[in-house]
Amino acid sequence: MITGTQGGRRALEILLGEQNLRDAVDYWNSKEPGCFTAEMVLSIIESQVAMERCYEIYKTQHGSENACSAVFLLGSFAGTAALPWVREFLEDEEQVIRLNGVRVLRRILDGPLGDQDSELAKDLLDKGESDPDAEVRQRTNQLRAYLPPYNSHLR
């Protein structure tokens, strides 16, 4: 039995319906009227299903505007489950994906991390700071400089 915040999030996923959450990601990507409302709801829920849909779009539509948008949207509500994907984003050939990958990492680092996630986050910050693109390096440096106090050990 899952309780607490994680249990509440899972309960919301069940109540709203997993397909509806996947559809909300797709609707946001459509840029139709109301798409930003979908983003706000996804930001509140922090749905694992929605995170996985964003990653699925990135993987299946790689190189498309939808893939870039999906990684950007993920940066609005990503949780630690998305942390392993950030390396893939930071290694992408497209600058916009790498920049959005830094956005995803920033969202994840807004919350506390366990020891294993902290090690991975530190590696990802180092990777972003060594990116060949100056803008990716700059955003990663800014992210590291303004970490919340509970993640200051990553500086």
Task: Give the pLDDT confidence of 103-152 residue by residue, as tens digits.
Answer: 999 999 999 999 999 999 999 999 999 999 999 999 999 999 999 988 88
Given a cut of 70, is residue 2 above it in pLDDT? no
Residue found by looking up tokens 């999906």 in the block: 70
What amino acid is encoded at 42 in this protein? L
List, in order, residues 6 or more apart from 83 with CB less than 8 Å away: 105, 108, 117, 120, 121, 124
Mean pLDDT of 80-86: 96
Give burial (CB, 10 Å; 0-12/13-18/19+) of 50: buried
DSSP secondary structure letter of residue 33: T
The closest of 117, 75, 119, 80 to 98, measured between CA atoms, is: 75
Buried b (16+ CB within 10 A) or exposed e, 74-106: bbbbbbbebbebbeebbebeeeebbbbbbbbbb
What average pLDDT is seen over the chain? Answer: 93
Given a cut of 70, is residue 1 above it in pLDDT? no
Distance between CA 101 and CA 89 in Å, rounded? 5
Q: What is the dihedral of CA 87, 88, 92, 95, to 10 degrees?
A: -50
Given a cut of 80, is residue 26 above it in pLDDT? yes
